Amino acid sequence: MEDTVENKKSRTRKWKVFFLALGFSLLGLPVLFVVRSLLFQSFNIPSASSEPNLMVGDYVFVSKFAYGYSKYSFSPFNFFSFEGRTGSRLPQRGDLTVFKDPRDVRIDYIKRVVGLPGDHIQLINGVLNINGSPVQLESIELPPEYYDQAGVKFYRETLPGGRSYVVGDFGETAQDNTEEYVVPAKHYFMLGDSRDNSQDSRFLDKIGYVPEENLVGRVAMIWQNVNGFSILNRPEEIHPKP
């Protein structure tokens, strides 16, 4: 079959499209690496330990530059290995934070920072105490969709300094009364917002105190829920004015 001019032009166009797509792919990989390793990473919420603020099926963007970088910031690539953190900005009480399990760094958790290095943390009758003082709790009502489990009650918890958010409570449980924890230097104390449904720093043989180098980043936003639960009308989190 005679190779016409039109056939030659068609093959040339196809090769141009191929090389153009290849070029965009090769350029996109470094951009993807930079965004995922240094800027933002998406995580999903598989458990109810952070309800009512993060619901099962949520996907969140986590700011990886919020606290600087450690060797775990580049997971799963792990191109760099160094001790501690670099360019670190310290977490604040009340931050929802992603961190590596201190006993198995293949596992990521999302919990709330309630204890900073040197803090004395204790739960007494279900009330969080920080450095000997109970935090403020106010009973609140949420929309009906948040009451899918019998007996759950919600409270607005206000930390020293004025930052506040909503926590869930299922009544009296063993973890409502704890020993006094003293947070070591360069470590943080984490709690789930669903206080009776969370494995967190209260369990020293499970998670315990979280080293600062295990911090991955701060939850920046919810971008979807795959179970159909609205990402709108979530409980308000209040940040004090500077």
Positions marked active-site: 49, 111
Residue showing tokens 């969370």: 198
Angle CA 53–69–37, to nearest 5: 75
**How many angstroms separate the CA atoms of 128 and 134, rounded?**
6
| Cα-Cα end-to-end distance for the chain | 78
- The torsion angles phi and psi of 112, rounded to 5 degrees, stand at -105, 135
**How many angstroms separate the CA atoms of 131 and 134, rounded?**
8
**How many angstroms separate the CA atoms of 72 and 212, rounded?**
11
- Least Cα distance to 170 among 184, 150, 188, 145 occurs for 150
Tell me the β-bridge partners of 96: 112
Tokens of 201: 């720093």
Tokens of 115: 């204890």
